[in-house]
Amino acid sequence: MKQQEFAGRRKELMEIAGNGSIIIQPSSQEHVRNRDVYYPYRPDSDFHFLTGFGEPLSVAVLIPGRPQGEFILFCREKDQDAEIWHGRRSGLEGACTFYGADDAFPIEDLDEILPGLLENKDRIYYTMGRYADFDQRVIGWLNHVTEMARAGVHAPDQFISLSHLVHEMRLIKSPAEIRVMRRAAAISSTAHSRAMKITKPGLFEYQVEAEIMHSFMDQGSRSPAYPSIVGAGRNSCILHYTENNEKLKNGDMLLIDAGAEVESYASDITRTFPVNGKFSRNQKIVYEIVLAAQLAAIAEVKPGNRWNQPHDAAVAVITEGLLDMGILKGSLQKLIQTEACRPYYMHKTGHWLGMDVHDVGDYKIADQWRVFEPGMVTTIEPGLYFSAFTKGLPKKWHNIGIRIEDDVLVTSSGCDVLSDAPKTVKEIEDLMRAVH
Ligand code: GLY
Ligand code: MN
Ligand code: MN
């Protein structure tokens, strides 16, 4: 993404905050995996949204109207020895040249410099509660400045939640963000198609996961946006199954929920298909209900409609399907009202998608479900899960778990489905027949 994109976001945020304010946004901490091995570093999404800077130990400070420059980046200095061992650093100069900082200081000097930047400001914009250690430091700096009141220094007396402002900005995606999200969805769609092509009885779930990971990386995505779910048979009925270590059996369905991350943007796609490439009669009955629910829900994603409408549409189709199957009995309206489908469909139909897989942004405003606006991206992911443990469920449905999930962009006239892996029974069977 180009530097202007990040600069534009900072400008927009600073215009909202106004002169007299200081905005403080640290990046995330590094996490130990074991002893001296760290998990791959992933910057804080809000920090990344405002800077595009991907190195650990960094803090962005924005001061609207500061004559010497409004964007200050604290980061690691260049260090030849450390860089030979651990990799390149931008350094202070690079922070200015490549990331548009007006001033850059060593991260070690944060405690020394920050109190001075708080002097004579009215408002601090900061997200409390995300990084406990950092919260303590912010309070310490504030106390330090407050103590200087006798010397005529005015300390900020308003503490405002930064996350709310940034999250509202993140909710509406720019054309540049949409391009990246399209790419993430396309990479994942290709990976799902590949998984369908190699799947056959006798493979282990992790071998299918390996194919997905290979496909993500081969296409330039270095990480999934969340741990991939690859569950066959009974495992398809566990919503967040990630063991991925059982053998695929002839006659089972395989549920794969996997999405690539590209430039810190997520995709989130689920496909479910028969391990042997051919739906049984019962699998097909369940699949067609979930697919119809998904299409009905997608049709409700358009500007002016409210957040709950896709879910309500999916629930109506699923409840009617369960009634037709004889699993539910009674009047359709009543069954919908009482959420009778919940033992078999126990999650919501979607969530915002963006830099975080379960992305930020309010779902309700003033107690009303939010109205869709162009630039929002949501998943649409209804499912039906017939676990062997579900009371009173005839055995013939046991261990069929189906979810179908796509990434859907709200456009000015309706919506655009960003993901496009095979989805109908015919598309899936045709693809799998062609290779088996
Ligand atoms: N992959 C997590 C979800 O679908 O929400
Ligand atoms: Mn998912
Ligand atoms: Mn999802």
For Cα atoms 186, 187, 190, give the angle at the middle one, nearest 5 degrees: 85
Residue 151 has what pLDDT? 86
> 143 and 232 in one domain?
no
Last residue within a domain, chosen from 143, 169, 195: 169
Question: What is the C-alpha separation between 412 and 296, in angstroms, rounded?
Answer: 19
Last residue within a domain, chosen from 137, 169, 201: 169
Residue 150 has what pLDDT? 83
> 113 and 213 in one domain?
no
> 206 and 146 in one domain?
no
Q: What is the pTM of this model?
A: 0.97
257 CA from centroid of ligand 1 (Å)? 7
> 163 and 202 in one domain?
no
What is the per-residue pLDDT across 274-317, written as a single tens digit (0 to 9) for each?
999 999 999 999 999 999 999 999 999 999 999 999 999 999 99
The residues with which 403 forms a beta bridge, in sequence order, are 383
> 350 and 379 in one domain?
yes
- From 230, 257, 269, 407, the mutation candidate for ligand 1 (largest count of ligand atoms within 8 A of CB) is 257
What is the per-residue pLDDT across 200-212, written as a single tens digit (0 to 9) for each?
999 999 999 999 9
Residue 435 has what pLDDT? 82
Confidence class for position 255, pLDDT limits 50, 70, 90: very high
> 52 and 142 in one domain?
yes
Give me the percent of the chain exceeding a pLDDT of 70.
Answer: 100
Question: What is the C-alpha separation between 386 and 344, in angstroms, rounded?
Answer: 6
Angle between helices 132-146 and 110-118 (to 10 degrees): 50
Q: Read off the CATH number of the domain in which 202 is found.
A: 3.90.230.10
In whole numbers, what is the pLDDT of the chain averaged over residues?
97
Task: Check: CB of residue 298 under 8 Å from CB of residue 417.
Answer: yes
> 179 and 32 in one domain?
no
Tell me the average pLDDT across 230-242: 97
Task: Check: CB of residue 351 under 8 Å from CB of residue 338.
Answer: no
Q: How many CB atoms lie within 10 A of CB 50?
A: 23
> 176 and 165 in one domain?
no
Residue 44 has what pLDDT? 98
159 C-beta closer than 6 A to ligand 1: no
Residue 99 confidence (pLDDT) above 90: yes
Beta strand extents in 11-52 (DSSP E only)? 21-26, 32-34, 37-38
* Pick from 420, 389, 413: nearest CA to 191: 420
Confidence class for position 149, pLDDT limits 50, 70, 90: confident
Two structure tokens written together for 11: 């400008």
Confidence class for position 79, pLDDT limits 50, 70, 90: very high
> 149 and 199 in one domain?
no
Which ligand 1 atom lies nearest to the CA of residue 405?
4
What is the domain count for the chain?
A: 2
> 404 and 376 in one domain?
yes
Question: What is the C-alpha separation between 346 and 5, in angstroms, rounded?
Answer: 39
Catalytic residues: 36, 240, 257, 268, 347, 351, 358, 381, 385, 403, 405
Domain that holds residue 54: 3-169
Q: Read off the CATH number of the domain in which 138 is found.
A: 3.40.350.10
> 241 and 156 in one domain?
no
> 189 and 132 in one domain?
no
- For CA atoms 106, 137, 163, 122, the dihedral sign is negative
Last residue within a domain, chosen from 116, 138, 169: 169
